[in-house]
Amino acid sequence: MADRRGVITVISGFSGTGKGTLMRELMSRYDNYTLSVSMTTREPRAGEVDGRDYFFTTDENFEKMVEEGKFIEHAGYCGHYYGTPRDFVYKRLDEGYDVLLEIEVQGALQVKEKCPDALLLFVTPPSAEELKKRLEGRGTEAPDVIKERLERAKEESKYIDRYDYLLINDDLDRCTEEMHSIIQAAHAAPGRNTELIKTIIDSLYTIH
């Protein structure tokens, strides 16, 4: 597979857009994709395996790796560190795999800063109304939580124009194939669907 170097692909999106489902579908159809494995300082949960679910480490070692520049991106969350190890990702790229990273917007921008050739994809429903409908359709979240998620979506939308492509997840099969086509095209040259990005951002500020 290593006849060409892989592409780092960062996948972000609003809560409820189906990012994880898309990534699993992509990997089930094609054998050239692999998920990045993050490193964390939290304790393993039941059933988690070191090197498969996460690389587990200590605060001291994590901080040393930060100082040595060994993360593509890193952040603190709920008293623990999380980061994407540079050596692991680069090894998989050299093996020819296209590496998928599911990261929120701030982490995605860190990746782009350190790896300018990384491809940034943002996944969204076709409209803000559909996003609200999907969140309500879960039936697991109170109205105030849904409102909070929609407000967060507005904040995240401020960064969408920093992404290379916006993917409309209104059909799993079509969206999976579109994602695959974009990533494979990035081996030659990435592009941007600027007008679509602007349309989605504008729609978020019309919903109540």
Q: How many CB atoms lie within 10 A of CB 155?
A: 10
Which tens digit of pLDDT belongs to each residue from 73-87?
A: 998 877 899 999 999
Tally the domains of the chain: 1
- Residue 196: in which H helix or E strand, if any? helix 194-204
Element (H, E) at 165: strand 165-168
User: Is the residue at 53 inside a domain?
Assistant: no
Can you tell me the distance from the alpha carbon of 186 to that of 176, in angstroms, rounded to the nearest whole number?
16
At 134 the pLDDT is: 66
| Cα(102)–Cα(84) distance, integer angstroms | 10
Two structure tokens written together for 53: 């679910």
Asked whether residue 91 is domain-assigned, the answer is no
Asked if residue 81 is part of any domain, the answer here is: no
Q: Using an 8 Å Cβ cutoff, are 170 and 125 in contact?
A: yes
| Two tokens, residue 75 | 């952040």
**Could you tell me which residue, 198 or 106, shows the higher pLDDT?**
106
Higher-pLDDT residue of 186 and 4 is 186
The answer to whether position 31 is within a domain reads: yes
Contact, 62 vs 80, CB < 8 A?
no
Q: How far apart are the C-alpha atoms of 43 and 81, rounded to whole Å?
A: 11
Residue 79 lies in a domain: no
Residue 180 has pLDDT above 70, yes or no: yes
Which sign, positive or negative, has the C-alpha torsion 191, 114, 104, 31? Answer: positive
CATH code (residue 130)? 3.40.50.300
Q: Is residue 70 part of a domain?
A: no
What pLDDT score was predicted for residue 189? 66
More confident residue, 174 or 130: 174
Q: Which domain, by its residues, includes 124?
A: 8-36+97-204
Mapped onto helix, strand or coil, the DSSP state of residue 4 is coil
Task: Output the six-digit token pair for 150.
Answer: 């929609």
Q: Is residue 54 part of a domain?
A: no
pLDDT tens sequence across 85-127: 999 999 999 999 999 999 988 889 999 999 999 999 999 987 7
pLDDT of residue 199: 63
* Pair of tokens at residue 174: 């079509």
Q: For residue 24, how many other CB atoms are within 10 A of its CB?
A: 13
Q: Is 137 exposed, middle or buried (0-12, 13-18, 19+ CB in 10 A)?
A: exposed
Q: Is residue 76 part of a domain?
A: no
Q: Write down the pTM of the prediction.
A: 0.79
pLDDT digits (tens, 9 = 90+) for 49-70: 999 999 999 999 999 999 999 9
Give, as one character, the DSSP assignment of residue 50: B
Mean pLDDT of the chain, nearest integer: 86
